[in-house]
């Protein structure tokens, strides 16, 4: 198995899932610095080419996005690859699973979450320099570079940075694990799966098992 190396050095308890997307959004939404960063990015005040989504992680040319911008889609995809880790990272890289598309669909159903998450993704894209001292956007970093940024956020003493990581982690895992095709990766049996685990398997066992 050629999995992503993962984020080493820091174990984090982020907060994905729908409830935790809400939780993290609430925190991020109140952070003026994130809003400022988002505005600055939008105005092209931050370094490096901010106009187009990096090709490696960009949405397909004919892909219609309802809430995410091409750039925030790319940031999410780049982050999700590292956050999901393992074989899931391979699946994201090979586009077998598209967490950006699933996250976009989620935001279409819950549009209130879109602005803070957009800000969080932009902040991640353009906050590389203060975190690891490189003047490059997150999406142009190597796998190791992206891991370093995420680790810096996750293990930060500053709550704001940890919350930023929590927000990106939340939407990444939501985007990935809400895709039905990921069930095979984690052994979750689909109802129409032949030969998979059954309810009976869950209900029978030796009493001292």
Partner 1 sequence: MSRHLRSEAVVIGSGAGGGPAAAALAESGLDVLVLEAGPRLSARDFSADESEMRLRLGRALTTADAGQSLYAGRCVGGSTVINDCLCWRTPPEVLDSWRREYGLVDLDDVNFGSFVERVWRDVHAEPTDRSHINRNAHRLELGARRLGWAAGPMWRNVRGCAGLGRCNFGCPIDAKQSSLVTWVPRAERAGARVLANARVDRIRVEAGAVAGVDVTTLHPDTGAPLAALRVDAPRVCLAAGVLASGSLLQRSGIAPHASGRGLQFHSSVYVTGRFREPVHGYFGPTMAYAISEFSNVNGHAGPGYMLENTAVQPLQTASVLPDAGELHARAMAALPHLAHTVVVLRDHTRGRVETRRDGSVQIHHALGDDDLARLRHGMTRAAQAYLAADAVEVHLPVHGYGPVRNESDLERLALIPLDRSRLSLVYAVHLFGGAVMGGRREGSVCAPDGACWDVRGLYVTDASGLPSNTGVNPQITVMANALRVAAGIA
DSSP string, the chain: ---B----S-------HHHHHHHHHHHHHT-HHHHHHHHHHHTT-SSS--SS--GGGPPPTT---SSS-HHHHHHHHHHHHHHH-HHHHHHHHTTSS-HHHHHHHHHHH-GGGHHHHHHHHHHHHH-HHHHHS--S-GGGS-HHHHHHHHHHHHT-SSHHHHHHHHHHHHHHHHHHHTSGGGHHHHTPPPTT-TTS--HHHHH---TT-
Q: Which is nearer to partner 1, 53 or 171 (CB)?
A: 171
* Part of the chain binding partner 1 (CB under 8 A), chosen from 36-44, 45-53, 68-76, 158-166: 158-166
From the list 121, 115, 38, the residue with the least C-alpha distance to 83 is: 121
From 57, 162, 164, 171, residue interacting with partner 1 (rule: CB under 8 A): 162
Does 191 interact with partner 1 (rule: CB under 8 A)?
yes
Does 91 interact with partner 1 (rule: CB under 8 A)?
no
* Part of the chain binding partner 1 (CB under 8 A), chosen from 51-59, 68-76, 121-129, 199-207: 199-207
Does 154 interact with partner 1 (rule: CB under 8 A)?
yes
* Part of the chain binding partner 1 (CB under 8 A), chosen from 6-14, 45-53, 62-70, 124-132: 6-14
Region 27-56 residues binding partner 1, contact defined as CB under 8 A: 27
Q: Which residue's structure tokens are 């940075």?
A: 161
Q: Considering CB under 8 A, how many residues would be counted as binding partner 1?
A: 69
From 78, 84, 114, 171, residue interacting with partner 1 (rule: CB under 8 A): 84
- Contacting positions for partner 1 (CB under 8 A): 3-8, 10-27, 82-89, 106, 109-110, 147, 150, 154-155, 159, 162-163, 166, 169-170, 173-174, 176-178, 180, 182-183, 185-189, 191, 197-199, 201-203, 205, 207-209
């Amino acid at each position: 198995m050629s999995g992503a190396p993962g984020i080493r050095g820091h174990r984090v308890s982020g907060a994905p899932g729908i409830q935790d997307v809400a939780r993290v959004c609430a925190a991020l939404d109140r952070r003026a610095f994130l809003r400022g960063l988002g505005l600055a990015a939008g105005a092209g005040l931050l370094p490096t080419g901010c106009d187009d989504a990096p090709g490696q992680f960009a949405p397909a040319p004919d892909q219609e996005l309802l809430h995410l911008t091409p750039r925030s889609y790319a940031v999410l995809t780049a982050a999700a690859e590292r956050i999901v880790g393992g074989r899931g990272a391979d699946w994201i890289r090979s586009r077998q699973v598209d967490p950006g598309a699933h996250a976009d669909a989620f935001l279409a159903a819950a549009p209130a979450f879109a602005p803070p998450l957009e800000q969080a993704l932009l902040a991640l894209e353009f906050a590389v320099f203060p975190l690891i001292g490189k003047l490059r956007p997150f999406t142009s970093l190597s796998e190791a570079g992206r891991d370093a940024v995420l680790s810096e956020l996750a293990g930060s003493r500053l709550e704001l940075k940890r919350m930023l990581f929590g927000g990106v982690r939340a939407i990444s895992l939501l985007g990935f694990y809400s895709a039905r095709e990921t069930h095979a990766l984690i052994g979750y049996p689909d109802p129409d799966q032949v030969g998979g685990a059954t309810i009976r398997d869950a209900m029978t066992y030796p009493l001292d098992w």
